Structure 1
Amino acid sequence: MAATSPVPARARFNITQELVLVVALAAALLVLSFTAERFMSVANLLNQGRLMTEVALVALPMTFIIITGGIDLSVGSIMGLTAILLGVFWQNVGLPLPAAIGLALVASAAAGFFNGLLITRLRVPPLIMTLATLAL
């Protein structure tokens, strides 16, 4: 008969933290559902989905970076670079919108690749490297 090992205290603590967050979220949803007439409406949920898209597009890749022990501060700056380059390529240079989008994305991907290359090849901590490239 195999002996079962007890659940480590750290795992129990994490489960407790997660349970508290789930209960708090459920309580907030219940309170807002009863106090705000249109909170749980389809229109509001669709609107919230549209508003959260950019945050989700940044948060998902950042999750993997944080899990691996890195902190990437350049994400917001590269998003800003993409927006500025899109405007410059479209309005000032006069490129068609699809070409401007493509060029802005390629330039931003190159900036991210540059950061990643320096972090992996020079073995500089991601926090330090992204702080350094923010100054460029």
Structure 2
Amino acid sequence: MATAPRPADRLTDKTVVPDDERVRDWIGADAFARWTALRAWIAQTYPGIFSPDWIYGGKKHGWALRYKKSRAFCTLLPEYGSFAAVIVLGEAEREKFEAQRSSFSARLSRLFDETEAFRDGKWLKVDVLSAEDLQDVTALLVLKRRPKG
């Protein structure tokens, strides 16, 4: 008998590439509204730049929706009852964050401070639980890549 899913559990069935219905059922209606708002914001702000693709990270990490052109932009992780955005900030982006720190939430600033910097950058996993979190994520993405237009 399979155990019931718990918060932060991922979609791990390799045989089923997630679609909108599956994601909505997994993350819930409120989180799905933020999921679709973020996806629409990316499509509108960066028209024709990204073709998101589902990638499978194995039984432990499950499915993730990756936005990438020549380098990674962000990855969305559907988790049971919520979702997160993974954004890697390189050195230049970390400097921009520091210069604009006051425009981000205290929660995101704390996450930024607590995340270890590696050679390839800080890998921020931002749980998108509210409109404020969604605003933080879009502001971080603007740090990574200036909007088109």
Bigger radius of gyration, 1 or 2? Answer: 1
TM-score, length of structure 1 as denominator length: 0.28
Higher strand share: 2
Bigger fraction of residues in helix: 1
- Give the alignment's TM-score, normalised by structure 2: 0.26
